[in-house]
Amino acid sequence: MRVSAATLVALGAIAALVALGVTDQVLPAADPRTADIRPWVAARALGVTAYLLLAAQVATGLVLSHPRNTAAWRQTKPVLPWHELLSVFTGAFLVLHIALLALDPFANVGVLGALVPGLSGYRPPAIAVGTVAMYALLFTAVTAKWTRLLPSGWWLKAHRLAAGTFLLAWVHSVLAGTDGGALSPLYLATGLPIMAGVAHRWWTAKVRPQRAAPSAVSPSTPSIGRPLPAGAVLEES
Ligand code: HEM
């Protein structure tokens, strides 16, 4: 997918709004404490937004990869652009979430604590899970965009790890957030249906009769060693 000019403008506008929001440019802080915690409050809101975008991304991925999508639903054409666009916005909100928390002294995470699991000053195990989720997400996104980085046919297997990545992000969100308790209805309402969807997807793939291997190479059969475009492979899975 090419990131369009409109997407870049939208991402730039979000970053500019965050910069204005966490500094004194628009609304000067009423007291020093408010000024201190503003970046942290913004970082947490960005984290929740990134989590919700990730949930939507995994949900659209489940629709795309469902065995019935090829035969009955035929939703690849409308859903695939959303799935791809959601990955761009999830990434952008995550970058802002992580950068603000890494640079903000109040958050007590630090740059090393954000990048190396276990080195955060604040809730090291919970932040470590978030860092691992971030690397796993990066791996999933890069191997989906440049499928040739992996041996033929491997990118889709790697892509299925996204379900585990979502689980890590979920655990991080519940354990790291100061508002984990207040937000638990949100985490349950999003996490449970997605995990049920993943389980259902695995189950339907397991009970589905295997297709017979094609006996001869037809003109529509992709040549060995050459990965199919992402959308095509998803319909085949
Ligand atoms: C897939 C990756 C990630 C997602 C989806 C995510 C999302 C979230 C969410 C939803 C929260 C809860 C906000 C709240 O209730 O206050 C949170 C908290 C937090 N995240 Fe992440 N995060 C991710 C990765 C990271 C990474 C790599 C770091 C390292 C800097 C990090 C640092 C934090 C911190 C410090 C908090 C706690 C903020 C507080 O004090 O309440 N997150 N994250």
CB-CB neighbours of 17 under 10 Å? 12
What pLDDT, on the 0 to 100 scale, is given for residue 175?
Answer: 95
Q: Report how far residue 119's alpha carbon sits from residue 211's, in angstroms, rounded to the nearest whole number.
A: 48
Prediction pTM value: 0.84
pLDDT at residue 54 in the model: 97
- What's the pLDDT score for residue 209? 53
pLDDT at residue 88 in the model? 93
Query: Domain containing 180: what range?
Result: 40-206+227-236
Task: Report helix, strand or coil for 109.
Answer: coil
Regions of the chain short of the pLDDT cut 70: 1, 180, 208-237
C-alpha 43 – ligand 1 centre gap (Å): 8
Query: How far, in Å, from the CA of 202 to the mean position of ligand 1?
Result: 29
Whether 167 and 198 have beta carbons less than 8 Å apart is answered as no
The verdict on residue 6 lying in a domain is no
> Nearest residue CA, atom 15 of ligand 1?
177
State the pLDDT at residue 210. 53
CA 54 to ligand 1: nearest atom: 5
Output the pLDDT for position 223: 36
Which tens digits make up the pLDDT trace of 6-45? 888 888 888 888 888 888 777 777 787 777 888 899 999 9
Q: How far is the CA of 34 from the centre of ligand 1 (A)?
A: 20
Domain annotation covers residue 27: no
- Number of domains observed in the structure of the chain: 1
Q: Is residue 212 part of a domain?
A: no
Q: Is the dihedral of CA 220, 223, 224, 227 positive or negative?
A: negative
CA dist 170 and 130 (Å) reads 9
- The predicted structure's pLDDT at residue 83: 94
Whether 222 maps to a domain, the answer reads no
153: left (phi over 0), alpha (psi -120 to 50) or beta: left
Distance CA 78, CA 81 (A): 7
Residue 49 · residue 93 · CB < 8 Å = yes
Instruction: Indicate whether 16 belongs to any domain.
Output: no
Residues written for the chain: 237
> 3-state DSSP call for residue 104?
coil
- Residue 126 belongs to a domain: yes
Domain membership flag for residue 46: yes
Q: Phi first, then psi: what are they for 108, rounded to 5°?
A: 60, 40
Q: Is residue 166 part of a domain?
A: yes
Which atom of ligand 1 is nearest to 174's Cα?
12
Report the nearest atom of ligand 1 relative to the CA of 108.
35
- Tell me, in angstroms, the distance from the centre of ligand 1 to residue 130's CA: 7
